[in-house]
Amino acid sequence: MAARHLQPGPSLITALLKFLCKLLKGLLRKAWQLCTSSTLILLLIYWAHGNLFILTLVFGALFGLFYNFQDSLLYFPQQPESSTSYVTPPSAVGIPYENIYMKTKDGVNINAVLFKQSPLHCSRVPTILFFHGNAGNIGHRYVNANALYSTCGCNVMLLEYRGFGRSDGTPSESGMYVDAQAALDYLHTRSDIDHTKMFLMGRSLGGAVAIHLASKVENQDRIRGIVLENTFTNIPEMGAVVIGLDFLKWLPLIFYKNQYLSLLKIYKVQVPTLFLSGSMDELVPPNMMYRLFERCGSRVKKMIRFARGSHNETWQCDGYFPTIANFLSEVTRQESIPLQNSAIYGVQEELNV
């Protein structure tokens, strides 16, 4: 009998390629970190010898410093102080809750708190998965959650991103997307909530996370609608606004470690979408919200502008929570929402786009 030679199967080849790619990425990351930490030494060597190769390394190191420093300009898990060491107990809110820990696909343990309606109503009402902004922890959003819980009559899950509050890991754009997916997947495993009434809500940076999650084809039938508040178009444009240098938005994307390309992704969003914009937002220009509204791919979308709303206090404006409650009610009852309707709440003015 002739000897049979075993050929590596597709799964083995795929696993080998993944391993090699992971090894290469690890080596490049270590080289990047070494080059970045040695910037001063490289500058001194170039000053002494003027070597072209050293000059190339200097530019690479400077770019590495700029690239890696971007995280400290975007994520503020320690503001206010002690935000990563102390999170207010959910029991302080005085409503039923579950403190949840889950493991993401990349092995990071993250925390979430689920405020649930009574057992009689929990499985029949909408559930909001809430993504907060770039600072603090979920304990700072308990008042928001309580108001949503009471006014909208819904369940509310507050997700804590990696590196924030009690969650492990380090903040990153890709990591936040993985965290959000893990939270949505978890909610869909529960038998005590209605999976057909699942809503996403994102404020500021959380809006970019919600847009990403809702833009994925595999999530289209798992999300009933989304609520976006004072979020931005993308990081290059936002960087130009915050730093005050307009040319930053024209730099190639390779210069940006965090991109959050919401304006590019939102045309893929097909579910009903509510835009809540503070006209006095001092951080994110309100026209960014309007551009997202125009670009949104959903046939059912509504934009409400709060004349006195600032970036962090729009939720305190009159009519804020009733607006969300009406949206949830209209969508879950499958009633039609006025298409492309934009209004300024508190000012007798309505704009028809």
Catalytic residue (choose from 83, 132, 281, 298)? 281
Residue 314 CA to residue 307 CA, distance in Å, equals 9
5 is catalytic: no
Catalytic residue (choose from 83, 167, 172, 204)? 204
279 is catalytic: no
Angle subtended by helix axes 320-332 and 142-152, to nearest 10: 50
**Measuring CA to CA, which residue among 22, 36, 62, 52 is closest to residue 255?**
62
Contact (Cβ atoms closer than 8 angstroms) between residue 317 and residue 331: no
**Measuring CA to CA, which residue among 114, 113, 124 is closest to residue 153?**
124
Q: Where in the chain does DSSP place strands (E)?
A: 97-103, 109-115, 127-131, 155-159, 198-203, 225-229, 273-278, 301-306, 341-345, 349-352
Q: What is the DSSP string of 268-280?
A: G--S-EEEEEETT
Catalytic residue (choose from 38, 194, 195, 311)? 311
Tokens coding 336: 């039609």
204 is catalytic: yes
Residue 102 CA to residue 94 CA, distance in Å, equals 24
Residue 227 CA to residue 201 CA, distance in Å, equals 5
3 state SS of 203: strand
In the chain, % helix, strand, coil (3-state, to 5) comes to 45, 15, 35
194: left (phi over 0), alpha (psi -120 to 50) or beta: beta
Residue 118 CA to residue 302 CA, distance in Å, equals 30
Catalytic residue positions, numbered: 204, 281, 311
